[in-house]
């Protein structure tokens, strides 16, 4: 029975858990995808989730645990014994199992490993626990299909059948030598079409892209994006095959990186979730808010230098928000494009002058259009030629300067090893506000002969 996940259904599940109505839960969830069950569990408390999980087949439970967010899963597993956790870990890929074990205290972790039935999986998990989470070794899974360079096709197919029991998705078959060093790859199709007595060394493809276990996760993402890979083998410094990283793990990293960049660009200094504490959320937002506040105070103080000019021409003050808002928007647009380029590990300094020239051309075109529009509207509504000219000339200059700053600042920060995403939010906006005001009042001072 296919069930649509609605508020009404979640309320029914909630009531069913309270009544211990196992029949309703099983009948409605038997054809449900594990990801959809996870959506339902997010709406229940930890004890209710455990009741539902205990009813479901352990294979489904293992998938659900792998998909749960870190904070929810950590709180959720507090209700499970080490034996219950081990039951699910036994059914997971080694990389997912390690993620869960790293979230447990040392005692629980050792108890779970001791309770694992599969010695091979236990050894794989122990091996992966040595790697940092944000490197290729921490992302990889030990489950893969590999064959020896000197085997015949018949032996390879038999080995694939044996190994495939532990591998959920077969993207490619890796070829190793007698020292377990990765030398190439061979497709399943090639093996099936070859004669049984054919040697692997006669049919394999030596062209294989791999990555060392110590490489950062950002480099893993970059390589897999560049070469459009569904999986990538991981090797040690000697070239021995250690494991593989699949596209689903890379997508998770990409989402984390995108979320981090978004938070930095909006002035949030640490990773936070909606359900975090008030203090943690406030702490993550305050630093850039304070910088923005200081920038605003500086802008107010800066405008004080032109207090006499404003007193003589009050209309000049009406267009201050237009100047600051436009400068901030232009700066954010320019910096966002550069940050996107930098995040893809593209080389931007080799054609530095070409990029600056292109940025200036785009800015020049935008500045001309915006300044003409502003001059036209200002003159039509206020009938003051000089004021219209002041606003349009100032806006023209601000667009050019903001585009240049939005381009150069992230590049310079990246060159000095600072995350360029921090330059895209309040930093560039505040800087452009001060520069924009300076240009605006300088133009007004010159054209009005103040």
Fold of 7-132: MgtE N-terminal fold (1.25.60)
The whole-number pLDDT of residue 146 equals 92
- The tens-digit pLDDT sequence of the chain (450 residues) is 567 888 899 899 999 999 999 999 998 998 888 889 988 988 888 888 889 999 999 999 999 998 887 778 888 888 889 999 999 999 888 888 998 998 888 899 999 999 988 888 888 898 999 898 889 999 999 989 999 999 999 999 988 888 777 777 787 899 999 999 999 999 888 998 899 899 999 999 999 999 999 999 989 988 998 888 889 999 999 999 999 998 888 887 887 776 666 666 555 555 555 556 677 667 766 776 777 777 778 777 777 777 776 776 788 888 888 888 888 888 878 877 777 666 655 544 556 667 777 778 888 999 999 999 999 998 998 888 888 998 999 999 999 988 888 888 887 777 776 666 665 566 777 777 888 888 888 888 888 775
The whole-number pLDDT of residue 184 equals 95
Q: Any residues with CB less than 8 A from the CB of 263 and at least 6 apart, and which?
A: 269, 270, 271, 272, 284
The whole-number pLDDT of residue 319 equals 86
- With beta carbons less than 8 A apart as the criterion, state whether 440 and 398 touch: yes
Report residue 354 as tokens.
């070409």
The candidate with the shortest Cα–Cα distance to 74, out of 112, 103, 111, is: 103
- CATH tag for 146-255 (out of 1.20.1260.10, 3.40.50.300, 3.40.190.10, 3.10.580.10): 3.10.580.10
Helix, coil or strand: residue 157? helix
The whole-number pLDDT of residue 55 equals 92
The whole-number pLDDT of residue 244 equals 93
Judge if 146-255 and 278-447 fold alike in CATH terms. no
The whole-number pLDDT of residue 264 equals 60
CA gap 437, 174 in Å, rounded: 62
Provide the whole-model pTM: 0.66
- With beta carbons less than 8 A apart as the criterion, state whether 241 and 208 touch: no
Buried/exposed 267-287: b ≥16 CB within 10 Å, e otherwise: bbeeebeeeeeeeebeebbee
CA gap 72, 32 in Å, rounded: 21
Fold of 278-447: Tetracycline Repressor; domain 2 (1.10.357)
Task: Domain ranges for the chain, please list them.
Answer: 7-132, 146-255, 278-447
The whole-number pLDDT of residue 239 equals 94
DSSP structure string for 203-234: T-B-----EETTSBHHHHHHHHHHTT-SEEEE
Backbone angles phi, psi at 342, to 5 degrees: -65, -35
């Amino acid at each position: 029975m296919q069930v649509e996940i609605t508020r009404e259904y979640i309320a029914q599940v909630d009531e069913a858990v309270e009544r211990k109505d196992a029949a309703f839960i099983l009948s409605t969830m038997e054809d449900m995808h594990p990801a959809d069950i996870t959506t339902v569990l997010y709406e229940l408390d930890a004890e209710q989730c455990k009741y539902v999980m205990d009813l479901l087949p352990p294979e489904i439970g293992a998938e659900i645990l792998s998909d749960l967010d870190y904070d929810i899963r950590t709180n959720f597993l507090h209700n499970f014994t080490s034996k219950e956790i081990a039951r699910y870990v036994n059914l997971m890929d080694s990389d997912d199992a390690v993620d869960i074990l790293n979230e447990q205290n040392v005692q629980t972790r050792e108890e779970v490993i001791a309770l694992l039935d599969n010695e091979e999986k236990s050894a794989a998990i122990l091996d992966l626990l040595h790697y940092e989470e944000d490197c290729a070794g921490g992302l990889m899974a030990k489950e893969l299909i590999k064959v020896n360079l000197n085997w015949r096709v018949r032996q390879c197919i038999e080995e694939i059948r044996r190994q495939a029991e532990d591998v959920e998705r077969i993207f490619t078959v890796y070829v190793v030598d007698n020292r377990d060093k990765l030398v190439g790859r061979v497709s399943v199709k090639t093996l099936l079409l070859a004669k049984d007595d054919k040697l692997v060394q006669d049919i394999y493809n030596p062209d294989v892209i791999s990555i060392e276990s110590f490489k950062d996760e950002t480099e893993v993402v970059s390589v897999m994006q560049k070469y459009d890979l569904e999986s990538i083998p991981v090797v040690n410094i000697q070239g021995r095959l250690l494991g593989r990283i699949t596209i689903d793990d890379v997508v998770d990293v990409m989402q984390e990186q995108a979320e981090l960049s978004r938070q930095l660009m909006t002035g949030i200094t640490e990773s936070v979730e909606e359900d975090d504490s008030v203090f943690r959320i406030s702490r993550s937002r305050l630093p850039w808010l304070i910088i923005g506040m200081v920038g605003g105070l500086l802008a107010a103080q800066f405008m004080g230098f032109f207090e006499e000019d404003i007193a003589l021409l009050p209309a000049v003050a009406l267009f201050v928000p237009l100047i600051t808002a436009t400068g901030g928007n232009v700066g954010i647009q320019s910096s966002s494009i550069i940050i996107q380029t930098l995040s893809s590990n593209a080389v931007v300094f080799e054609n530095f002058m070409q990029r600056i020239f292109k940025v200036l051309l785009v800015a020049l075109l935008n500045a001309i259009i915006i300044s003409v529009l502003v001059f036209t509207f200002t003159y039509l509504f206020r009938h003051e030629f000089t004021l219209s000219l002041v606003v349009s000339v100032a806006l023209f200059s601000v667009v050019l300067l903001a585009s240049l700053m939005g381009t150069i600042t992230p590049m310079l920060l990246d060159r000095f090893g600072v995350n360029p995403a921090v330059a895209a939010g309040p930093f560039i906006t505040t800087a452009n506000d001060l520069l924009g005001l300076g240009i605006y009042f300088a133009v007004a001072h010159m054209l009005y002969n103040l």
